[in-house]
Chain A
Amino acid sequence: DADVTQTPRNRITKTGKRIMLECSQTKGHDRMYWYRQDPGLGLQLIYYSFDVKDINKGEISDGYSVSRQAQAKFSLSLESAIPNQTALYFCATTGQDTDTQYFGPGTRLTVL
């Protein structure tokens, strides 16, 4: 089984809709991250969390919010989706004894 899972894998939605992307990890790590990937732009950090009580904004947090429901779960929400939020979204996790970030398979989001 995959260490980091993301649901849904693909989602098409309309402008103005609220949408939630979910991430779960089974590695027992405390740190979780959300990144956005656009063609030709690499990955950009949206939010990160060091534990369930610690949430931090990344470089592109505007228009997004997150919830750390448990150590293993970290959700990303778009309160009112807009077309320029069409992208690939990746969740990642790392632990206290490693620098390696383990990425999920990604969610492809299309906002019409």
Chain B
Amino acid sequence: GENVEQHPSTLSVQEGDSAVIKCTYSDSASNYFPWYKQELGKGPQLIIDIRSNVGEKKDQRIAVTLNKTAKHFSLHITETQPEDSAVYFCAASTTGPFPGGGADGLTFGKGTHLIIQP
């Protein structure tokens, strides 16, 4: 089955600096890669995702890049703010060619605790 490795486990950055979290996956059939943010006492919430037919995707201060050949993908957060402090999880799954094509559940990385220092 799929195995997802995530690094680092803890990341501390100064407010306003950039943060990068990296993940690798093992199953070449995986084609959907979401990133979730989990705040204390809450369930994970999707912040951005990417499909394998796209190399990069941006949404304001957040971007995700995917390298299918190397089987790794990364989350980039620019101009970090205190509210970015949380645990971030990467995940991978195999779905159909279109959204909702049949996700058999997500395989998650172990999480990164992002700390934004004032």
Partner-B contacts on A (CB < 8 A): 4, 31, 33, 35, 40-45, 48, 50, 56, 58-59, 90, 92, 94-106
Contacts and interface: CB of A to CB of B under 8 A. Distances in A.
Interface of B: 1, 4, 6, 9, 32, 34, 36, 41-46, 49, 89, 93, 95, 99-111
Contacts of A100: 34, 46, 49
Contacts of B108: 35, 42-44
Most buried by A among B1, B34, B99, B100: B100
B100 A97 contact: yes
Given A58-B105, A103-B36, 13 more contacts: A31-B103, A45-B107, A48-B104, A59-B1, A94-B103, A97-B99, A99-B34, A99-B49, A99-B103, A100-B49, A101-B46, A106-B41, A106-B43
